[in-house]
Structure 1
């Protein structure tokens, strides 16, 4: 009987690829992908936290004296909740007069616009709702105006407006509303063919929404838009929150600003009534 052959040393071919002793490429790529995903999630979380901290820091507060005057005005009813400040005529909401939902500029307290908009209530019987957008940034607030108008459900039609970046957000909502009111702002979406009455108020001394920028974006608005420049006004003059970094030097008084805004709004309402009598009766 022949002798049994002694087995030789094992060769690499004797061990199938991916055996227990060798790393599996699929598992290795899964570990790498998981690590990359965790890093991306950590970066995203850090970005979100940073945005929230930034948005909550350095919010420009309403000046006390103009705000106190609005609160003390017996012709105006003030209602406030987490969503908005609502200013209505003391004798009640006028349902047939279009109301205004107004978005503040970035990181500006909603109450800072109360004095600028108060005469719309007393002189034109409008209901004015000043929104409190998410993170004090209107562009990050994707809610419709219904989220802010709960205290004035009787109003049948709404204008939408805003200051600076708040106006940019208002432009996005304008096609579904009765009209658009811009304070020191301009549209980044095209409304040139929209059947929407528009009032654009700007400042000749504005260092942020400069006259040149407003002019450059004029073609995004309908041809019949009412364009009003207040020569002495800077960017911050459209609210009561103090000076703003990067702004020009304005000389317009509070009385001048309030009068110009109220007069221009009255002209817009008159135009709306002429075009659609049922809209502004």
Structure 2
């Protein structure tokens, strides 16, 4: 209504209140919370590994570092996506089959990312102790060389004709094998300790071939390993004619190798809680008839390298140095037999 009075103020236009932004449904908020948790896990897992074992990771196969970085980057991307979705206006939900397909695809994708976060944490290596790190120092007897794919323990003053390619146990710092393997090199044998992808020997079952090819002057080769590393070594030895011997440390083959033309030594611990004496006894039927079995009294699974105690293992009954001295003697016997042909 307008006024005819000349001094009347002009009428104010009606104020239009901005429409309220539609609230996101509770299901959407729950989905954002799940995504945020996945993103945080993807960042937290590699951060924890870097904080507690960063100095170990840099000496392992590069694939472990790549996985940790990938996890962190994926986590940051997920968290940024969560922030963007939280500030985006609500939209009408998809209906029908398309909604189901999109939901299943997103759920599967975040499940894969959650597995990546768990893997990044689980693959944290068991770090080498000071005893192993001390054995990495070169001296007048043994030169220790670090390469992208392995550590090499090279005897000085001689040209070794027999070598050993060794695969550490799962998630064990490759450097943890140094004290035992260096003792073999001190007796004139070339020893190569593999840096396994992600710290798991079975991820690259043919890795030993690269190490053998890198030392063409070595005429005779044995392969071996600890625990899962021994499983990978056994599989490699069974399928490669250029391998003359197999050294199993607290390990056994997955398949039947009883007909293999190999010099084989199985060295185990009487108190091993992971590769138990019963496991080793069961492996006898799958190894050549001439296999030498040595049970080290009082030794446990972690006696074969220097990385501290391992969950699920037994309690050692002898000092580590005593157990490793027996392990070295049995391992040397295998290399002597391979050297003799």
With normalisation by structure 2, the TM-score equals 0.65
Q: Distance in 1 between matches of 2:213 and 2:235?
A: 21
On the 8 A contact 1:201/1:230 being kept in 2, the answer is yes
* DSSP-derived class of the 1:228 partner: strand
Q: Is the 8 A contact 2:138 2:144 kept in 1?
A: no
1:54 aligns with 2:118: no
1:268 maps to which residue?
Answer: 334
- Is residue 180–residue 198 contact of structure 1 (8 Å, CA) maintained in 2? yes
User: Are 1:121 and 2:185 matched, yes or no?
Assistant: yes
Quickly say closer, same or farther: Cα 1:91–1:193, change in 2 above 3 A: same
In the alignment, is the contact (CA less than 8 A) between 1:236 and 1:247 conserved in 2? yes
- Is structure 2 residue 217 aligned with structure 1 residue 154? yes
Quick one: structure 1 residues 203 and 149, their matched pair in 2 at CA, closer, same or farther if it must change by over 3 Å?
same
- Of 141-150 and 60-69, deviating more is 141-150
Is 1:212 the equivalent of 2:212?
no
Unpaired runs of 5+ residues, structure 1, are 1-27
Cα distance per residue 1:154-201 (max 9 Å; x no partner): 222321111111111111111212211011111111111111111100
CA RMSD between the two structures: 2.4
1:239-278 equivalences under 5 Å are: 239-272=305-338, 277=340
Where 2:137 maps in the other structure, the secondary structure is helix
Deviation at 1:232, TM superposition (A): 1.4
Q: Which residue of 2 aligns with 1:110?
A: 174
Q: Contact 1:127/1:152 (CA < 8 Å) preserved in 2?
A: no
1:190 corresponds to which of 236, 242, 256: 256
Residue 166 of structure 1 pairs with residue 234 of structure 2: no
- Number of corresponding residues: 244
Aligned partner of 1:100 in structure 2 is: 164
- Structure 2 distance, partners of 1:189, 1:201, is 18
**Secondary structure at 1:79 match in 2:** strand
Structure 2 unaligned regions, length at least 5: 1-95
CA deviation string 1:175-233 (max 9, x = no partner): 21221101111111111111111110000011111111111222111111110000111
CA deviations on 1:223-269 (whole Å, 9 max, x unpaired) are: 11110000111111111111111111113334423432332233223
Q: Secondary structure at the match of 1:217?
A: helix
State the Cα deviation string for residues 118-173 of structure 1 (Å, max 9, x = none).
121112x1111000101111122243313334653422232111111111111111
* Matches of 1:156 and 1:33, distance apart in 2: 59
Is residue 298–residue 323 contact of structure 2 (8 Å, CA) maintained in 1? no
1:144 and 2:207 correspond: yes
